[in-house]
Amino acid sequence: MIDAYRTLAEPASARIRRKKSRFRAFLHPVGSPDDIDARIAEIRKAHHDAAHHCSAYRLVGADGPIAASDDAGEPTGSAGPPILRRLEEAELLNVLGIVVRYFGGTKLGVGGLIRAYGDATEAALESARIVVHRVAVDLLIRFPPDVNSGVMATIHRCAAEIREVRFDDSAEVRVTLPPSGVPTLRAAIRDATGDRATTEVLG
């Protein structure tokens, strides 16, 4: 998993015209497939009289971005992929783009549609406020109290943030750190305690 990614601070929108067809683009921050389905359903309901509701999204995935697009009845590759390309070029994740088309009576052709859907998305991106979201992982470390000094020194050396410390018959420390630092901290804790500690990713 990545440590940080660019995403939207809030929804954004824009509208353009092409040969009497009206295109309205909507960008939404999303965090799951359920979020995506809900936002698309909202737009479809609000613009039920539109000819097409085309979309694309990019989500954070464990092994890289999860992305998909939907032409929603337009010629294959003419609507969803241009939306997705603009999201990719902006390097955004956890974002959904929807472009609604009100047909104006004149066909645009595949090339014209590709430009229109891409331009509508680009117009929405120009008005969007983009932020960097930093990802953090909670790690629970359990260990015998007699190796406490080694554990604490290792935690500080690996730049993890201590959230909670508990001592009883055994000791527990909950720390927060970027995902990329988890394997390093786990290995360092193992070495510092002679493999007497256990680590568990929470949540």
The domains of the chain, with CATH numbers, are: 4-133 (3.30.230.30), 136-202 (3.30.70.240)
| pTM score of the predicted model | 0.82
pLDDT in tens, 60-116: 988 889 999 999 999 999 999 999 999 999 999 999 999 999 998 888 999 999 999
Read off the pLDDT band of 6 (50, 70, 90). very high
Nearest Cα neighbor of 142 from 111, 94, 186, 203 is 186
Give the phi and the psi of residue 138 in degrees, each rounded to 5.
-90, 130
- The pLDDT assigned to 118 comes to 97
Nearest Cα neighbor of 1 from 48, 52, 62 is 62
Read off the pLDDT band of 197 (50, 70, 90). very high
Instruction: For residues 109-138, give the mean pLDDT.
Output: 96
Residue 196, pLDDT above cutoff 90: yes
Q: Which residues contact 97 (CB under 8 A, 6 or more apart)?
A: 25, 26, 27, 55, 56, 57, 83, 84, 86, 87, 121, 124
Instruction: For residues 12-35, give the mean pLDDT.
Output: 95
For tokens 């009845």, the residue is: 73
pLDDT in tens, 42-66: 999 999 999 999 999 999 988 889 9
Helices (H), 80-194: 80-89, 109-127, 148-157, 182-192
Token duo for residue 136: 């953090």
Cβ atoms of 91 and 6 closer than 8 Å: yes
